Structure 1
Amino acid sequence: MPRHRLVLDARSPSIIVPLTGRDLTELAEQIGALRSADSEFRSTPVRGTPPAGVSPDTDRLVDVVEWRVDLYGPFTAGAGSDPDPAVQALEQISALLPGLPVLATFRTRSEGGGAEISPEAYVALVEALASTGMAAALDVEYRHPHAEDAITAARRHRTPVVASNHDFDATPPAEEIVARLTAMEDAGADVAKIAVTPRSAADVVTLLSATEERYRAARIPLITMSMGGLGAVTRLGGGPFGSSATFATVGAASAPGQLPAEGVRHALDLLSGRSAPRG
């Protein structure tokens, strides 16, 4: 059972910040920078209250960290697929960030990731990370050939699953986006996530329209975004359309178009009407 719950609500979107370090030293440095930024942010006053029924920590800069396991040295160096180094790193990350939920993600190259392992090793890694109880959730690529087994492995340890899909070439039609998000829920995911690439402003509208359509029927939280500069508006204003989280940066980005976390927090506060600008 994870020590932290992953609580997502489109009425108050969470900010997820990636950790992309290649080794324990880099991860510790990134965590130090994140903690410093969070501490500085907390030292400034905030006014207002969250929407009715929602009680987030409005003084917090970051709500969740995503550890990109595929960017970790033992995997990018082709040293094999032994999950033990990842388990040890997750334990250290959790020790350094005792108050934050950790989303553990191994992004394969077909989905824009930094490493590749066999389908069987992918499932074994998901199971090993879930078994620690240190991950609030595990990312599982819904189009992975062993996605069903990976979801079953995570749920065996009562660890929630964020099913994900990335399109780095285009934005599918709205009905296809809705269908993918629906399929993720039907497969047993606890959160459905999709990221697409816009080629026009109309593509951004398509993503938001599909999000709103699926949100009305979904029984699980959604995370949706258009990547790159053209889609930046979806990283700030996705909440009213049904997206319950956004990815932002404290340091290195993990995907095109991610914005600095402090600016994103200011924007979310202003859009929600729960605070005035800080400072």
Structure 2
Amino acid sequence: MNTTKIVVTLSGHNDDEIKAEINKAKDSIDDFDIVEIRGDVFDALNREDHGKKVRFIIDSFKPLNKEIIYTYRTAREGGSGSKTTVEYEALLKAVCKSMDIDYIDIEVQSGDKITASVVETARENNVKCLMSNHDFKRTPDTEGILSVINKMDKLGGDIYKVAYFPKDEKDVIYVTEAVKTAKAEYGDKVVGISMGALGKRTRTAVGEASSVLTYGFVARDAAPGQIHVTELRKIFTK
């Protein structure tokens, strides 16, 4: 039985885009389990207005029994976030304290001290920690990927997400093999993505190579190779 949960990524920048994405998501409400809010798209806003946008999205889906992931993806990991590490830490801790979220995405490359600080705040507020690492330029070999996942485990993660851009088929295999090995050790806590068209099958893998989460879209893809949530649901219910 497949246990992969489908995450819909919302990345609208302004009120019109946000409302349009919410409406599209509600039209496909049975095709996803979790909503990911990309806070980095609100980078130009002050903290108060940022919070209003995030709360509006949360309030749109929490009554529909959807879990929420808050993600602030920095520019170094493929997002549009430009905050300093100090600002990044403060934002994630504030979101854990003030928002009704289920998961906080923490980029482990932000540093062990910052990660530990956010994890502590998350635990105090019953928020799960989704450790993440993205590289749009290269894919480590299987051992390299496993070392990142092992670090995520040591830092107290609840879910370990790695996403890399492949240059060739070998890179896709590195990700697939790492997922298999990490799942055997840690159970259903691993998300392994090989981005772009070449690695698209990692987003729909089943069995021993399946991820605990897969990310899709309803209006616009937020990462190379993302698949519409309706198509994902069809694949995972075959």
Same fold per superposition (TM over 0.5): yes
The one of 64, 75, 95 aligned to 1:109: 75
Which fold has the larger relative contact order, with Cα–Cα distance below 8 Å and residues 6 or more apart in sequence?
Answer: 1
1:265 to 227, 233, 236: 233
Partner-residue secondary structure (3-state), 2:199: helix
**Equivalent residue number for residue 62 of structure 1:** 32
What SS does structure 2 have at the residue aligned with 1:113?
coil
Mapping of residues 99-248 of structure 1, within 5 Å:
99=64, 100-145=66-111, 146-218=114-186, 221-248=189-216
Question: Which amino acid in 1 is paired with 2:4?
Answer: P
Task: From the superposition, tell whether residues 220 and 264 of structure 1 become closer, same or farther in structure 2 (CA, over 3 Å).
Answer: closer
Find the aligned partners of 2:187 and 2:86 in 1 and give their Cα distance. 30
Shift of 1:239: 4.7
Deviation at 1:243, TM superposition (A): 1.2
Alpha carbons of structure 1 residues 113 and 191: separation in structure 2 relative to 1, 3 Å:
same
Stretches (4+) displaced over 3 A: none
Q: Which has more radius of gyration?
A: 1
Q: CA deviation at 1:86?
A: 2.7
Tell me how far 1:149 sits from its aligned partner.
1.8
Asked if the contact 1:198/1:226 (under 8 Å) is kept, the reply is yes
Aligned residues: 234
| Pairing 1:22-61 to 2, within 5 Å after superposition | 22-38=13-29, 60-61=30-31
SS at match of 1:216: helix
Partner Cα separation in structure 2 for residue 108 and residue 174 of structure 1: 24
Unmatched segments (≥5 aa) in structure 2: none
- d(CA) in 1 for partners of 2:93 and 2:180? 33
SS of the residue 2:105 aligns to: strand
Q: What TM-score do the two structures reach when normalised by structure 2? A: 0.92
Q: Secondary structure at the match of 1:217?
A: helix
> Match of 1:67, as an amino acid?
I
Identity %: 26
Cα separation, 2, equivalents of 1:239 and 1:22:
36
Secondary structure at the counterpart of residue 229 of structure 1: coil
Q: Give the deviation of 1:133 after TM superposition.
A: 4.4
Mean CA deviation greater in 146-155 or 133-142:
146-155
Distance in 2, Cα, partners of 1:158 & 1:85: 24
Give SS of 1:134's match.
coil
- Gaps (5+ residues) in structure 1? 1-9, 39-59, 271-279
Contact 1:122/1:150 (CA < 8 Å) preserved in 2? no
What's 1:83 paired with? 47
Give the letter for the 1:26 counterpart: E
Partner of 1:43 in structure 2?
none
Structure 2: distance between partners of 1:239 and 1:91? 36
Please report the TM-score for the alignment, with normalisation by the length of structure 1: 0.79
Whole-Å separation in 2 of the counterparts to 1:220 and 1:13:
9
Q: Which amino acid aligns with 1:127?
A: K
CA RMSD of the aligned region, Å?
1.6
